[in-house]
Structure 1
Amino acid sequence: MAFAWKAAGITYNRYLAIAARVVRRSLKEGPRLQAERRGEMDLRFAKWQNGKQGENKSLGEANASAMAEQAKAE
């Protein structure tokens, strides 16, 4: 028998993110706001070329712009 997250076709990391969001949303107002603030994160990345680091970019913004470009192309 496969794990439910595997059967759903998601990664374990994504499964954990979904479970954490569900738990945070189930809390009462005060603790929920504190937990949501702790759950926020800002991932950044940079491409390296010829041994030099490129510009740091926000992963969320980069994904949004890539999805917008892909939608325009289709």
Structure 2
Amino acid sequence: MTFAWKSAGLTYNRYLAVASRAVRRSLKEGPRLQAERRGQQELRFAKWENGKQGEVKNLAEANNAAAIAQAESK
């Protein structure tokens, strides 16, 4: 049995982003604004090879690029 987000071609991080955005949008005005501000964080990562740090990338942009590459390969 496979998860719905996985069969839809989403990464787990992207699935969480979509789900959390849906929850934030369903809140009332005051709590919604506070939750939206908390959700506007930029995560960055870098791959390490042979003890050296690679290029630092934005996680959202990397996920979008991976999703496009996966969609094109199908």
TM-score, normalisation: structure 1: 0.60
- The DSSP-based 3-state class of the residue aligned with 1:40 is coil
**Tell me, which stretches of 5 or more residues in structure 1 are unaligned?**
1-8
Give the alignment's Cα RMSD to 1 decimal: 3.2
- Percent identity over the alignment is 61
Amino acid at match of 1:70: Q
Q: Distance in 1 between matches of 2:72 and 2:40?
A: 29
Residues 2-61 of structure 1 deviation map (CA, whole Å, 9 limit, x = unaligned): xxxxxxx58xxx77x847852x33443244223211122211110111110001001111
Question: Which deviates more from structure 2 when the two are superposed, residues 27-36 or residues 61-70?
Answer: 27-36
Is residue 2:35 matched to residue 1:35?
yes
Question: Which deviates more from structure 2 when the two are superposed, residues 45-54 or residues 31-40?
Answer: 31-40
2:59 is matched with 59
Amino acid at match of 1:40: Q
TM superposition shift of 1:73:
1.6
Is residue 2:46 matched to residue 1:46?
yes
TM-score, normalisation: structure 2: 0.60
